Amino acid sequence: MNTAMKFSAYGVALALVAGGGWAAGTAVGPFAGAAGARGGEDAGHGDTHSGTVAETAQPDQPGGLASSRGGYTLTPTDTTLTAGTAQPFTFQITGPDGRPVTRFDVEHEKRLHLIVVRRDTAGYQHLHPELAADGTWTVPLNLPQAGSYRAFADFTPAGGEGMTLGVDLATAGSYQHVEYPPARDASVDGYQVRLDGELIPGRSSKVTLSVTKDGRPVTDLQPYLGAYGHLVALRGGDLAYLHVHPDGAPGDGRTPAGPAVTFYAEVPSAGTYRLFLDFQHAGTVRTAEFTAPTTSTPQPQAPATGDGHGGHG
């Protein structure tokens, strides 16, 4: 997992560039006020990285901003896909020797987590590809609308350090850019989820997500990938990908199965963040979405866990 911040590696934020598409960058700016691809523009002409030239991470750079880091490179077979249809998405992770990596450590019950989201954070997906013997990962991928997307591969090479690499994808066609105002309440499939707590740049911040259904607290959340919830943050302005796991674990004797799931998160900079909570109940995984700006208000500090995963090693 990404050790550069308490948010462990599944992570992303968004760089919006005016004039037809989004290009990866490092400038940080307000999420809602950034310029992005506008309705009616051709998404097929965005700046995508086909794998011929790798984006190389800089020292101390958050995960997901580059397709190459520490000698490892994310190389998709094709970066141009067709919107609205399921199709195989294939890629390899090549190592420092230039060969496809075939051995990965299991992290949170999977050897690799793939996050795909459009540049305006619409269409969020958390996927788990299958690995072939030759090092090729494959997963069915349906990008529902045209636009420029970012795909993030979060993985740990066997015996190595965890990392997140990112690459741009494109689907041709006209589409309408979506902006998300600040929102701390979300509704999904009859569930209501409330976000409490503040994000303070550079400090461990306690945030709590509370799940109810039909006005009643949900007290029987089910473990999903070894936790009662998974939280991904996408920082407005630069496509840095941030992921944090909740405090405690199912079956540890102290963590209730809802309605509240607590996270200790450390965001690296001021700005506005899009937050995505995956939780499972009644056998189905659902995703609640939030938009939260940072604040300078002091918050209680997290207990030291030593692993940067909010209690999940």
Decide if pLDDT at 265 tops 60.
Answer: yes
Average pLDDT of the segment spanning 46-55: 50
- Among 296, 293, 249, which Cα is nearest to 274's? 293
Bridge partners of 237, per DSSP, are none
Predicted local distance difference test score (pLDDT) of residue 240: 81
39-48, 227-236, 293-302: least confident range: 39-48
The CA distances from residue 246 to 1, 139, 272, in Å, are 15, 27, 21
Take residue 310 and report the two structure tokens written for it: 């909010």
Instruction: Quote the CA–CA distance of 70 and 161 in Å, as a whole number.
Output: 10
Domains of the chain, with CATH numbers? Answer: 8-171 (2.60.40.1930), 185-293 (2.60.40.1220)
User: Percent of the chain beyond pLDDT 70?
Assistant: 77
pLDDT digits (tens, 9 = 90+) for 113-169: 999 999 999 999 999 999 999 999 999 999 999 999 999 999 999 999 999 999 999
pLDDT band at 94 (very low <50, low <70, confident <90, very high): very high
- Model confidence at 287: pLDDT above 70: yes
* Amino acid 298: pLDDT: 52
pLDDT of residue 297: 62
6-10, 97-101, 123-127, 304-308: least confidently modelled range: 304-308
Other Cβ atoms less than 10 A from the Cβ of 35: the count is: 12
* Alpha carbons 197 and 25: distance in angstroms, whole number: 29
pLDDT band at 266 (very low <50, low <70, confident <90, very high): confident
Task: Look at residue 7 and tell me whether its pLDDT is greater than 80.
Answer: no
Burial class (CB in 10 A: 0-12, 13-18, 19+), 117: buried
Tokens linked to 100:
């496809």
CA angle 131, 163, 306 (to 5 degrees): 120
| CA dist., res. 227 & res. 126, Å (int) | 15
Q: Where are the beta strands (DSSP E) in 77-225?
A: 80-81, 87-94, 112-118, 125-127, 130-131, 136-141, 147-155, 163-171, 185-188, 191-196, 205-213, 216-217
Query: 259 preceded by cis ω (within 30°)?
Result: yes
pLDDT, tens only, 157-215 = 999 999 999 999 999 999 899 999 999 999 999 999 999 999 998 888 999 999 999 99
Q: CA-CA distance, 87 to 5, in Å (whole number)?
A: 34
pTM for this model (two decimals) = 0.78
Q: Please give the share of the chain, as a percent, with pLDDT higher than 90.
A: 62
Strand partners, 17: 21
